[in-house]
Homo-oligomer: A and B are copies of this chain.
C-alpha cells in the first residue's frame, strides 16, 4: 500500500507541513502502516502502547466496555484524525479504552516519543509538530466536552435532541446524515437501543423530527 500524502497534509497534526518535509518526518517518526478488517481491534483496554495511530482510510471507534459488557463509544475517529496521543504525554500507564475498526481501515503508526522529544537539530519541524499536537488535544477536549453535554442530559429524549440539534448545527442544515447506526448511536449516548428506537418513534409521531435510516430532519 502506498501512503496517501494528501490525507496526511490535510490532517491537523501535519497542518502547514510540506510534502518534502513530511517524507523525512515520517522516517524520523518511525512511521509504519497496517491494514485492518472491519470489527478488528487495534488496541485493547489494558494495553500499554508506545505508538500513536492516524486513520488513513476507513474509521475506528474509541470505546469503553465495563465489567458487564456494556459498551460506550467515546469517539469516532475519521481519516486524518489520531488516537492514542494522550499516552504520548502521560507515559507508561495502560490505556483505559479499546480501539475498534468500524470498517476496513488503514492506520499509520508513529513513535510517540519521537514526537515529544526534541531530536537532533536536523529535524527543525518539532516545534511546529508540537504546536499542531496542542491543537489536536484542544479539539479532542472540546469533543469530549461536547459528548458529555449530550450524555449528561437526564432522559433519552433529551439526549437525542441534544445530539441531533448539535449535529444539525454542525451540518448547518435541518437535514443531515449521522455517522452511526442505531446500536452505535445508543452506545454513543449511553442508552438502551430499543428504548431509544421507541423514543425516536414518539418524536416522529409528535412531528418534532423525521428520519429514514441514518438520515434525520429536524422540524421547527
Interface window among A2-10, A19-27, A131-139, A207-215: A131-139
**Contact: B138 with A138, CB < 8 Å?**
no
Interface of A is mostly: helix
**Contact: B154 with A190, CB < 8 Å?**
yes
Oligomer copy total:
2
* Chain B residue nearest to A138 in the complex (CB): B89
Residue A130 CB within 8 A of the other chain = yes
For A72, list chain B residues within 8 Å (CB). 148, 152
**Contact: B89 with A145, CB < 8 Å?**
no
**Contact: A70 with B154, CB < 8 Å?**
yes
Q: Which of B118, B133, B148 is in CB contact (< 8 Å) with A144?
A: B148
Measured between alpha carbons, how far is A64 from B134 in the docked complex, in Å? Answer: 24
For A131, list chain B residues within 8 Å (CB). 116, 130
